[in-house]
A = this chain, B = another copy of it.
Amino acid sequence: MEKSDTIRPGEQTLAIDPATLADAQLAFIGQIASPWSRREDCPKNMREARLRARPAAILIAAPFRPALAGLAAGQFLHVLTWLGQARRDLALQMPRHASQPRGTFALRSPVRPNPIGLHLVRILAIDSAEGRIDIDGIDVLDATAVVDLKPFFETADIPPAGPFFGGSPGGEDA
């Protein structure tokens, strides 16, 4: 959840600003209620959010509540958010504590052409009529907009068997 208008040494902008493009339009379906109102307090990724063990909630706007039918406590859910405070025009970024810049698409930073956040959370309780989903925690600021909810499915969302070269400890901290 880092917003900055300044560019650090080693960082590089794209040749265009994606914020000036409008190929498709999003509708906000609700917002996050989280304990984090200041950027410096907010967990930097879902691993940190889970370690802090501070529950949060997804508040779904009234017109979208009928679409919650079938979700239940205990399920894991992908939450897609809109991290609209971040700049969108960086090609290379210098993560904190990194020794060299990395491409935006190799990072989970909110600074990206389309600032959609992807967060795997667990449903603690759900009240569909009120549009409230209590969750185990999340790594976004209070009042962050929500654009989609998707059920997690092991068969689709876990890498299939085979050599695995993905990720490195701390690598998601961007």
Please list the residues of chain A having a beta carbon within 8 angstroms of any beta carbon in chain B: 12, 14-16, 18-19, 21-29, 45-47, 50, 63-64, 66-72, 74-76, 78, 80, 82, 84, 88, 90-92, 101-108, 112-114, 116, 118, 120, 122, 128, 145, 147-160, 162-167, 169, 171-172
Contact = CB atoms under 8 A, between A and B. Distances in A.
A103 B69 contact: yes
A-B pairs, top 3 by smallest CB distance, nearest first, are A70-B106, A69-B103, A21-B27
B67 A92 contact: yes
A14 B62 CA distance: 10
Given A69-B103, A108-B151, A118-B150, 17 more contacts: A14-B63, A18-B27, A18-B29, A21-B26, A22-B25, A22-B26, A23-B27, A24-B82, A26-B114, A47-B156, A66-B91, A67-B112, A69-B106, A75-B165, A108-B153, A153-B166, A154-B167
Contacts of A46: 155-157
A106 B151 contact: yes
